[in-house]
Chain A
Amino acid sequence: MSVVRVVGVVAVLGAAVLVGLALAGRHLAGAPVLLVVSTVAACLAVAALAVQPWLTRRRVGVHVRVGGIITVLVVLHVVALLVEDPDDALYSMSPDGPTRARMALIATLLLGVVTLLGVLRRRLRWSPATWRFVHGSLAALVVVLGVGHALLIQGALDGWGTPVLLTLGGLGAVGAVVRLVRVLRAPPPPGDATPPDGGRVRSGDGLRG
């Protein structure tokens, strides 16, 4: 079984455990539907973040689709909180919010940038190395800050949720770093060569991760 499949299985199991813990726990018992939706969306997003960096090598199409799903899940998570409890949600997103909320805010903004970089890759006309470095670095920050935010939150994922979050976050962070190092160290494939221009502009840039 390939590494990607192993990571995928772990991510699916992790998502199932997180969602199960959240739904079975005391914290969401009798909670408003929007809070439940927000929590489940966050659990699924964490699991998807774990597998996402591992899809960049040979499964770029899946990587793009999973990236879109993560963005939708995070938007759902935030919007549900905003509708359910605007006072606390806006406070959390303000400069006075607690550290865990600041991590989430930065991760969300970076996720938006990472998604935009993916959408605008061809138009940006950056060299592959530059694009991959920026996209991969920011994605690694999204994983670290997003999962760190989940770890600091008290509530639905306390207890057994912590090691599961650590496992999923570790997989995502290691995957992002490994991929980043591999991309930076490897010479570009034939036809993907960029003149030694300092990595500014290249032509014919394909959608490779």
Chain B
Amino acid sequence: MPVPAPRTRPHPVAVTAVLLLVAIIAAALWRSEESGTGARDVGGEAVPVTAAAPVPVTGATCAPTITNPGGRNNYRANAPLDVPLGRGLVITGVVRDTACRPLPGVAVQVWLQTALGSERENRTTVLTGPDGRYRVSSDPAVAQFGEPNVHVAHDVDDGWRAVFLRNVVDSEDTLATVDLTLVPSS
């Protein structure tokens, strides 16, 4: 008399391991940041009149800007001064010290991918004005590795510590605001 073939089931250890793996993957994705660790969405729509930098309050302190992961991606030193990068997106911000005082004449490098070129080619350095504000006009940002992003850095050894940022924007954004708070390098 033939014996019916027994049903088999996956080994309980295998089932447990797979379920555990699924839980670990879910946790890893849940804990990840959508645009990368420390990357902020700095995009928006440009306003017709550029707002003046706020007057610092006596005794106020500003938290120093910290280089975020990916901030140095495709960085090249000595970017040429005031290179026209196109029109459609304004990248601007105020550079301050930790007492929230604006820093004039400080070099800021900006690089991003646009229709003109990739992050490696498309860069310029600008100097902050008397109110500590810098401004770069560029073609709209184009997705680089899955998302449009803008790099802003203070990279010149002028008494202020270097800082490198990678933040994200939407391709339709016309304004990206990235403020920097620098600390003395010594």
- Using a CB–CB cutoff of 8 Å, the interface residues on chain A facing chain B are 26-27, 32, 81, 85, 87-89, 91-92, 94-103, 106, 126-130, 132-134, 137-138, 141, 145, 152-155, 184, 187-190, 192-196, 198-200
Known contacts A87-B73, A88-B74, A98-B32, then 12 further A-B pairs from the complex at CB < 8 Å, ordered by chain A residue: A88-B119, A89-B145, A91-B73, A98-B146, A100-B146, A101-B146, A126-B11, A126-B14, A152-B146, A188-B8, A194-B6, A199-B10
Best-buried of B5, B38, B146 by chain A (most CB within 10 Å): B146
A–B pairs, 15, beta carbons within 8 Å: A26-B115, A32-B118, A88-B74, A88-B145, A97-B36, A98-B39, A106-B25, A106-B28, A133-B10, A153-B146, A154-B146, A155-B146, A196-B8, A199-B11, A200-B11
A27 touches B9 (CB 8 A): no
Q: For A155, what are the chain B residues with a Cβ–Cβ distance below 8 Å?
A: 143, 146
A102 touches B28 (CB 8 A): yes
A134 touches B14 (CB 8 A): yes
A195 shortest CB reach to chain B, Å: 7
Number of interchain pairs (Cβ within 8 Å): 124
A98 touches B18 (CB 8 A): no
Q: Is there a chain A Cβ closer than 8 Å to B56's Cβ?
A: no
B8 touches A199 (CB 8 A): yes
A94 touches B69 (CB 8 A): yes
B64 shortest CB reach to chain A, Å: 20
B37 touches A96 (CB 8 A): yes
Q: For B34, what are the chain A residues with a Cβ–Cβ distance below 8 Å?
A: 98-99
